[in-house]
Every structure is written in structure tokens, then in C-alpha cells.
Amino acid sequence: MKKEGSKHNKYFFLVLLLSVGILSFIVVKPFLTALISGAILAYVFYPLYKFLQKKIKTKRGAAIIIIILMVLLITIPPIFILNHLTQEVYSLYYSAKTHLETTPKYKDTNKPLYDAMSSLESIWQQEKTKNYVTNLLKETTMFITTKVSNIILKLPQILLQILVAIFTAYFLLKDGKDLMKRTLKATPLAPKHREQILKQFGSVIYAVIFGSLIVALIQGFLGMLGFFIFGVSGAVWWGIVMAFFALIPFIGTWIVWLPAGLILIANGYINATPSLIWKGIGLLIYGLFVISSIDNILKPLIVSGKGRVHPILALVGVIGGLFVFGLIGVVIGPIILGLFQTLILIFEKEKILKQKG
């Protein structure tokens, strides 16, 4: 009778735990991305935190210094880049509008594009065509500035998410190691398996973060090189901007090189300079097949190599994670599939050991 009562208590506790767990997930769901981001930030900055803790001898002081550094890194670069991009867009619009009001005079008459450009000149000079291009430029400018404005309007929500991520990072820096030990101790797994899972978890996170940073730097360098080759001014600055956007999934470097290539083509046509048109076409091809494509090749290779995850799982994890979890899915996807791979290996080993036994 006593055993039956304890069995009922056990089931009641499990049902209660499951119910409260589901409700807890519903409560934290709006901040899930922020919580995971905070955990990733804590993991990335943990070595620096440990170094500072040894120097200043207090957990709280070291964590506060790291949080201040995080805030500066999260807020200053995006504000600076968005401000610069907005100014560039307005400058481009007024420059293009001025060019549209002038009559093009062909400079490179011996170029292959001369005949084609001559035949298009009559169409270009039509008032209807000029009005259409002017309106298109205006709409494009308005679209970009509207997106920037929407980001500004959503600042309270964004700031709240950042605040949650920062608080999460702060407490995980201080207490994350103890919390991880307690969580793993509560799981009904052998110590060696806990260690294996923890090791795999750390390896995948390190590989994803390391891979993203390395690939972003490579893309920024390739972008800078391309801009320099095709004669785009401010190549170093735009290389830095591309490296920043390379870290943001669904956006990437195309947001810089695509408009730059189109501007070269437009300027070449407006100023009747075929060489600029060829440079613009060259930049678009270079951007598509070199700057952007390198991401799809290098990132899965780095994740599979350093994270000890099968290349197919790494590729599917990165892409699938993006679609299911959004931006943070770049990290979550490979972690889930990496842990799944580890659990399968544990299961196989245990099955073999039982068969031998």
C-alpha cells in the first residue's frame, strides 16, 4: 500500500513538473532568443571573465566589467553603421537625381557597349523614362529609410531584449558553471556520458562562434578587395561594414555589394562610360560567386571540423536552424544536431557494451 502511494506521488510530481515546465516555457518564449543570446555571450566572454576574476578577486566585479564591454560592443557599431548608411543612401539619391537631369555625352566611343548605348539614348532622353527612374530611386530610398525608422520605433522592444540578454549573461558568468554542474548531476546519465555531452556542447558553440567570426572577417576582406579592384571608393570602410553584416543571418554582405554594383552600372550609363558598366557587372559577379558563396563553403566545414559534427549535420543544422528558430538558429541548429549525434554514439556504445557483457 505504501509502495502504491509513493508510486502515485511520483507520477503526480512528474505531471506537475511537466505542467509547470510547459507553463514556464510559455512565459519565457517571448524572451527565448534573448536568453539564448545571453547564454552564448556568457560562454564567449567566459575566458576573459576568468582572467579578470583572477586579477580583481571578485565574481561580481569581473562580471560587471564584462557586461560594460558587451554593451559597448552591441550598441556602438550598429548605431555608427546605420547612421553612415542612411547618409550614403540620401547622398546617392540626390547625386543620381542630378545626373538624370543632364544629357549624357559618350566618352569611351571605342568600347563594345557604345552601339548599344547609342541605341538606348533616345529612350533614356524621354521624360517618361527619367520620371520612372527618379521615382524608383525615391521609392528605394524611402524603403531603406522606412526600415531604419521601423528599427528606431522598435527600439524599446529591442532594448528590452538586449536587457534580458545582458542580465542572463551577467548571472551565467557568475553562477553558470555551478548551474551546469547541478543540471548535469540531476540527469540520470553516467558521469562519463555527462562529460561527453558537455564537451560536445562546448565544441559546437565554440565552432559556430569561431566559424562565424572567421567567415565574416574573410568576407569583409574579400569585399574590400573586390571594391578596390572595381574602383569603389572607401573600400576599407565598406569591407568593415560587410564583415559586420556577414554576422547577421538573412542579411549578409549582399546588402552592400549589390547596391554598389548597381550604382556603378547606373553611373556608367548616366555618364556614358561603358568601363563603369563593365566594372559594375564584374562586381556583381564577384559578389555573388566569391563574397557571398564563401560563407556556404567555409562555415559548415569549420563547424564540422572544430565541432566534431558530421558535415551534413553541420550544414543542415545551420540552414534548418535559421528557418526554425530565426537568427539565433545559426547556433541552436548545429547544437541540437551535434547533441543528437552524441546521444546516438552513447546509445551505440552502451548497446555494444551490453552485448559484450
Would you say the C-alpha torsion 285, 291, 292, 293 has a positive or negative sign? positive
The C-alpha atoms of residue 83 and residue 77 are separated, in whole angstroms, by 10
pLDDT (mean) for 249-259: 77
Position 225 scores a pLDDT of 94
Q: Which three cell numbers stand for residue 353?
A: 557494451
Residue 8 has pLDDT above 70, yes or no: no
Domains of the chain by residue range:
189-357
Position 221 scores a pLDDT of 94
Residue 296 has pLDDT above 70, yes or no: yes
Q: pLDDT by residue (tens digit) across 12-68?
A: 777 887 888 888 888 888 888 788 888 888 888 888 888 888 888 788 888 888 899
Q: Shortest CA distance to 346 belongs to which of 185, 196, 204, 205?
A: 196
The C-alpha atoms of residue 290 and residue 222 are separated, in whole angstroms, by 8
Instruction: Report the mean per-residue pLDDT for the chain.
Output: 75
Q: How crowded is residue 140: how many other Cβ atoms within 10 Å of its Cβ?
A: 16
Residue 110 has pLDDT above 50, yes or no: no
How would residue 91 be classed by pLDDT, with cut points 50, 70 and 90?
low
Position 218 scores a pLDDT of 92
Least confident range from 9-23, 148-162, 203-217, 229-243: namely 148-162
Q: Shortest CA distance to 204 belongs to which of 314, 307, 344, 306?
A: 307
Q: How crowded is residue 252: how many other Cβ atoms within 10 Å of its Cβ?
A: 18
Q: pLDDT by residue (tens digit) across 14-24?
A: 788 788 888 88
| Amino acid type, 3 | K
Q: Shortest CA distance to 311 belongs to which of 340, 345, 338?
A: 338
Q: pLDDT by residue (tens digit) across 331-343?
A: 778 888 888 887 8
Position 298 scores a pLDDT of 81
Q: How crowded is residue 147: how many other Cβ atoms within 10 Å of its Cβ?
A: 11
- Report the length, in residues, of the chain: 357
What burial class does residue 91 get, using C-beta atoms within 10 Å of its C-beta: 0-12 exposed, 13-18 middle, 19+ buried?
exposed
Q: How crowded is residue 36: how many other Cβ atoms within 10 Å of its Cβ?
A: 18
Q: How crowded is residue 109: how many other Cβ atoms within 10 Å of its Cβ?
A: 10
First CA to last CA distance, the chain: 37
**Residue 308 has what DSSP assignment?**
T
How would residue 116 be classed by pLDDT, with cut points 50, 70 and 90?
low
Position 23 scores a pLDDT of 87
